[in-house]
Amino acid sequence: MKLPAEATLRMVATFVAAFGIGVATYITIADSGGGAPACIAGGSGCQTVADSIYSHLLGVNIAVLGIVGYALLLVAALLRGDTARMAGFGLSLVGFGYSVYLTYLELFKIEAICQWCVASAVLMTVLFGLNALRMLAYVGRPA
């Protein structure tokens, strides 16, 4: 099977990371107003998740951490070379791992699903896949 060109992987990762910044920014703005992101299909899952103690880490809304994470992934996707490849892989691995943990919390601790958090988890999973492929296929090779 022919692997996609690194430029293609970087371009897709750039778009996904930019989309992720949008999603995380929306969650941050909705929460900072004392409310919660609006669930597209109604329901109160987003309110329940936003009101839970897990929505903040050391006093910081985790959506803000999400914005920072996606922004760093965007930079890693825009840059060439092994440093960017490894940084993109490492960052997306942390983001993916944390998304797995947050999804676990939603399902088993908070017992509510927020569609925006799921959207972010999906985007982070895609970014992890793209960055893992970029690292496996191109690390140690000329940019």
Partner 1 sequence: MSASEGRRRVLLQLGSAAVFLAIVAVAVLIVVSANQTSGGDVSLEDVGAVKRELRGIPQSGLVLGDPRSKVTLYEFGDLKCPVCKAFSEGIVPEVIDSKVRGGEAKIGFKSFTIIDAESAPAGAAAIAAGAQGRGWSFIELFYRNQGLETSHYVNDEFLTAIARGAGVPDIGAWNRDRKSVATLAEVKRTSEEARRLGFTGTPSFAVDGPATKGIEALGTPGSAGTLEEAIDAAG
What residues make contact with partner 1 under the rule CB under 8 A?
Answer: 34-36, 47, 50-51, 53, 56, 59, 82, 86, 89-90, 93-94, 96-98, 100-101, 104-105, 108-109, 132, 135-136, 139-141
Please list, in sequence order, all residues whose beta carbon lies within 8 angstroms of the beta carbon of residue 37, skipping any fewer than 6 positions away: 26, 27, 30, 31, 46, 50, 114, 115, 116
Residue closer to partner 1, measured from CB, 15 or 81? 81
Nearest in space to 29 (alpha carbons), one of 54, 53, 48, 46 = 46
In whole angstroms, the minimum distance from the beta carbon of 102 to partner 1 comes to 10
> Which residue lies nearer to partner 1 by CB, 34 or 42?
34
Would you say 7 or 34 has its CB closer to partner 1?
34
Which residues, 6 or more positions from 47, have their beta carbon under 8 angstroms from its beta carbon?
35, 36
| Minimum distance of partner 1 from residue 12's CB (angstroms) | 20
CA 136 – CA 133 distance, rounded (Å): 5
Nearer to partner 1 (CB atom), residue 35 or residue 68: 35
In whole angstroms, the minimum distance from the beta carbon of 5 to partner 1 comes to 18
Q: 13: which residues sit within 8 A by CB, 6+ positions away? A: 73, 76, 77, 88, 127, 130, 131, 134
Q: Least distance (Å) from partner 1 to the CB of residue 52?
A: 8
